[in-house]
Structure formats: C-alpha cells, structure tokens
Structure 1
Amino acid sequence: MILAAITLCALALGVLTPVRWGVWGFVGAAAVLFLAQALTNTAMGFEGIPISESLLLFNDSYLSYVGFNLQITYRAFALPLLALATPFIFRLARSRT
C-alpha cells in the first residue's frame, strides 16, 4: 500500500516538476520521495508491530532499526523512481527539441 501511494506521488511529481529545474529538480524530487518512503517505513514499525516492539528485534538500537528501513526502502525504490523518471524525461526531451 505504501509503495502504491509513493508511486502515485512520484508520477504526480514527474508530471508537475518544472522542466527548467532539469537534472537538479529530478534529483531533488527523487530524494524527497526516498525520504518520504523511508520515514513512512520507519514510522510504521517492523511488519506493522509497534516501534517499541520492533526495537526489541534490533537490540534496542535505533541506528540498526533506521538502517534496516533505509535498506528496505532502497530495495523497493525502483518502481517509484521509474514512475518519476518516465514523464519527467519525456517532458524534458520534448522541451529541448
């Protein structure tokens, strides 16, 4: 569900990001989407259990818990990145010709 929501947001950002921002706009939009997905994954807890119980699985280490969620987000970010890149690159190519 989170992946679908982030992918729809990525598609909207790909359509709405101004073309004049170019590569930096694309990189910024991708970074914002990645952070939003990572924060959402971290806030929801491991497999839907509360964060206090999730930390027990990681020896009460916030750093390990956040690192795990960043790794999960990194692995699941291909679809939102594709949804962001497709309309943005199409629009960028049309504006340059």
Structure 2
Amino acid sequence: MILLIGITLLAVVLGCILPLRSGVIGYLGGAILLFVAQAGVNTAMGFEGVPISESLLLFNESYLAYVGFNLQITYRAFAVPLLALSVPLIFRMSKATP
C-alpha cells in the first residue's frame, strides 16, 4: 500500500513537471518510467515481504516466472498511478490551449 501511495505521488509530481511540448511521447515515457519503477520495487521486495531467495522457491527457482509474476501484479495495480499522471498533465494541456 505504501508503494502504491509513493508511486502515485511520484506520478502527480511527474504530471506537473513534464514539459508540455513533449506531448504523447513524453506521456508514454513517463508512464513507462513509473511502471518500470513500480515493477522494480515489487521485484526487489520479494513475494509478500519474504527475501528473494525464499521467494524463488515458490516459483521453482525460475527468475523468469518470478519477474513475470511481479510484472502481472504491477500491471493490475497501475491504474491509479496512470490516472494520477494523466489528470495534472491533461489539466495543464487544457490551460495551455488557446
């Protein structure tokens, strides 16, 4: 829960400072950056707070399965940070349009 709140706050800040001239490419870059950061933290924390060495036992010592599982968890939890990135950016773009 703390991770989700932290990534959401980072998304709001990123939505407020992202240059408007970068447009869609900047938005996609920001979304990818947030997704990779959240997936990396999920992967580094281990499964349910257990160390990674013990987490790999649940996935038959397969790093690929472990990383894939964490990517799936991140994908499911990414709606809130994506919305938090979009709202300030769209608001700023609507104010900049004449």
Matches within 5 A, 1:44-63: 44-63=45-64
TM-score scaled by structure 2? 0.97
Correspondence list, 1:47-86, <5 A = 47-86=48-87
CA distance in 1, matches of 2:37, 2:66: 16
Alpha-carbon contact 1:41-1:69 (below 8 Å) kept = yes
Structure 2 unaligned regions, length at least 5? none
Return the alpha-carbon distance in structure 2 between the equivalents of residues 26 and 88 of structure 1: 8
Q: Does structure 2 conserve the Cα–Cα contact (< 8 Å) formed by 1:41 and 1:73?
A: yes
TM-score by length of 1: 0.98
Between Structure 1 and Structure 2, how many residues are aligned? 97
Corresponding residue of 1:38: 39
Maintained 8 Å contact 1:10/1:33: yes
In 2, distance between residues paired with 1:69 and 1:93? 35
Q: After superposition, what is the alpha-carbon deviation per residue over 1:47-85, rounded to whole angstroms, capped at 9, x for unaligned?
A: 000000000000000000000000000000000000000
